[in-house]
Amino acid sequence: MHHSGGAASETCYIYQSVMAEAYKILPSAQTCVVGLGLGYIEISWALISLKESLSNPQLRSFEICKELRDGFISWLENSSHEETNTNLYNQVCHSLQKILKVPTDKVAVRESLREAFKVFPVQEDLHSFIRKKEFDSLQYQSNIICYDAFSSKTNSELWEESFLHDFVKGICAQDCVWTTYACTGTLKKVLSESGFTVIKRPGFQGKRDSTLALRGIFKRDFPQSLSRTF
């Protein structure tokens, strides 16, 4: 998060590459991002949807930090009065556009994300949201899970076995691909028990291993270049 170029490259490796392949297999795929942060994954999603001219793509995003939610939404609405804040998100967008070679402008990216968040506003506390009695899982069923939550040391609730089972049951569609920078034993256990084929991928630039998990149609059709076991 401290180096825009590095963070953009890591986002493309862990998340964008998986989203891009998933949309080739299932163009109607719905995406869920856990951990908005500075919006790297969401902006990547918008760039993919614009590049591929996806029809009615849907995005659900969760972020517990109010400052991050407010900052990103202000940028989307072009209403931020802080030049530093605006420049930060513009830099994130530029870094991703440069890597992905998508010839579109920030206005189109913001418009795409504004439309997505009109349907599904950014949610706050994922842990509480999943366990609400009135939670409509059908509305939030997603085919692509980009799990970028803080580590278990800083946000342990989102990495507990019982919660991960609830998340898979409530959010994951039968045809589903899960990608994350993490590779914990608990996560792999939950995904395996939930019918996913779990693949260990090398982490980004020497980091610890990351995880790719496939269920349903993605088990059969996901490209070997991403889904082989290392």
The proportion of the chain whose per-residue pLDDT surpasses 70, expressed as a percent, equals 93
pLDDT at 134 over 70: no
Tell me the mean pLDDT in the region 34-42.
96
User: How many domains is the chain built from?
Assistant: 1
Contacts of 210 (CB under 8 A, 6+ apart): 14, 179, 180, 181, 182, 183, 200, 201, 202, 203, 204
In the chain, the largest separation of any two C-alpha atoms, in whole Å, equals: 49
Does the pTM surpass 0.85? The reply is yes
Task: Strand 210-215: give its sheet, edge to edge.
Answer: 58-62, 30-34, 142-147, 172-180, 210-215, 197-201
CA distance 92 to 66: 19
Give residue 227's pLDDT: 58
Average per-residue pLDDT for the chain: 89
The pair phi, psi for residue 39, each rounded to 5°, is 85, 15
Give the amino acid at 140. Answer: Y
CA distance 160 to 62: 17
Range of the domain at 187: 4-227
Give residue 118's pLDDT: 93
CATH number for the domain that contains residue 12: 3.40.50.150
Q: What pLDDT band is residue 202 in, cutting at 50, 70 and 90?
A: confident
